[in-house]
Amino acid sequence: MSLIIIGTVAFDAIETPFGKTDKIVGGAATYASLAASYFYNKVKIIGVIGDDFQQENVDKFTQHGIDTEGLQVKEGEKSFFWSGKYHNDMNSRDTLITELNVLENFDPIIPESYQDCEYLLLGNLTPIVQQTVISRLKNRPKLIVLDTMNFWMDIMMEDLLETIKLVDVLTINDAEARQLSGEYSLVKAAKKILQMGPKYLIIKKGEHGALLFHEDKIFSAPALPLADVFDPTGAGDAFAGGFIGYLAKVGTINFNNMKNAIIYGSALASFCVEQFGTEKILNLKDEEVATRVQEFVNLSSFTIEA
């Protein structure tokens, strides 16, 4: 039994009001698999890199117990590269450079050893590649989580809708939920989206937390108010990875476990933004994660006496 995470493994160059990086390791599958590795020890990654992606970077996955057999290396090609600059409010950013490189013809090959997949996280990628992964698994996983973004809604909504039909959980942000549903009210948006296929919808609201919708139930998760957000890159991916990693660990899919999974995902996302790139989530101790989760409990608990 395993948790497969597919997504980009890439280089990013990031500028925020706090500083600027050269090319550092990034990508949705990178953040998500590192986050998941704190909860589950059978994380397997699917992605593609060029020969510019140094072995020492691949080793960081292995050191976290992440299986990299599904990480294709394209000789003579370059890894996906993204460069962006965050504005002062850290909620908006400009993309400066996008070089698809190896991603242009990415064919997600699933190693035979990955066919025991029970949990599948489809990290942000073209919806067609995401669909291909599902179709190449011999058995449908117990839980499929799909992360996507407005970019795919803009240019290939039809394909995205086909992919959304196939999954159990969809994670998007509030603006994307509005775009996907055509409804401004998130309650109405969720109602429509839950008719598109997924049984669970997570709406990420950044510094305002997240909402989980399932049937007629709603859970509102807080975000940890932070004094400093150094770099928001990868926060959504770390959230998704922590989320599915926790569910893979507990092994039972229900609303209560989903709620806790959102708290664990949020905890990993809160670490992620405290330093540039993957720096913080590469080196967490289990006690730090437990302490952070307890902060979420303290932050949001109250007792109303009837």
Rounded distance between C-alpha atoms, residue 202 and residue 213, angstroms: 6
| 218 lies in the site for its own copies, by CB under 8 A | yes
- Beta carbon nearer to its own copies, 88 or 92: 88
H helix count then E strand count, the chain = 10, 14
For its own copies, the binding residue among 89, 94, 104, 154 (CB under 8 A) is: 89
| 232 lies in the site for its own copies, by CB under 8 A | no
Site for its own copies in 272-291 (CB under 8 A): 290
| 223 lies in the site for its own copies, by CB under 8 A | yes
| 107 lies in the site for its own copies, by CB under 8 A | no
Backbone phi and psi for residue 237, each to the nearest 5 degrees, phi listed first: -70, -40
Site for its own copies in 9-38 (CB under 8 A): none
| 139 lies in the site for its own copies, by CB under 8 A | no
| 208 lies in the site for its own copies, by CB under 8 A | yes
Rounded distance between C-alpha atoms, residue 246 and residue 264, angstroms: 7
For its own copies, the binding residue among 63, 95, 254, 256 (CB under 8 A) is: 256
DSSP 16: E
Site for its own copies in 161-200 (CB under 8 A): 184-188
Q: How far apart are the first and last CA of the chain?
A: 45
Helix (H, G, I), strand (E, B) or coil at 197: coil
Rounded distance between C-alpha atoms, residue 203 and residue 67, angstroms: 29
For its own copies, the binding residue among 129, 229, 248, 281 (CB under 8 A) is: 229
Q: Is 271 exposed, middle or buried (0-12, 13-18, 19+ CB in 10 A)?
A: buried
> Which stretch in 3-11, 48-56, 139-147, 254-262 sits in contact with its own copies by CB under 8 A?
254-262
For its own copies, the binding residue among 60, 142, 222, 253 (CB under 8 A) is: 222
For its own copies, the binding residue among 22, 139, 225, 287 (CB under 8 A) is: 225
Question: 235, 208 in Cβ contact below 8 A?
Answer: no
List residues bridging with 50 in a β-sheet.
Answer: 74
| 211 lies in the site for its own copies, by CB under 8 A | yes
Helix (H, G, I), strand (E, B) or coil at 264: helix
Question: 95, 81 in Cβ contact below 8 A?
Answer: no
Beta carbon of residue 14, minimum distance to its own copies (angstroms, whole number): 18
Question: 226, 23 in Cβ contact below 8 A?
Answer: no
- Beta carbon nearer to its own copies, 235 or 263: 263
For its own copies, the binding residue among 76, 139, 158, 302 (CB under 8 A) is: 302
Helix (H) or strand (E) holding 198: none
Residues that bind its own copies (CB under 8 A): 88-89, 184-188, 205, 208-209, 211, 217-223, 225-229, 256, 259-260, 263, 290, 293-294, 297-304, 306
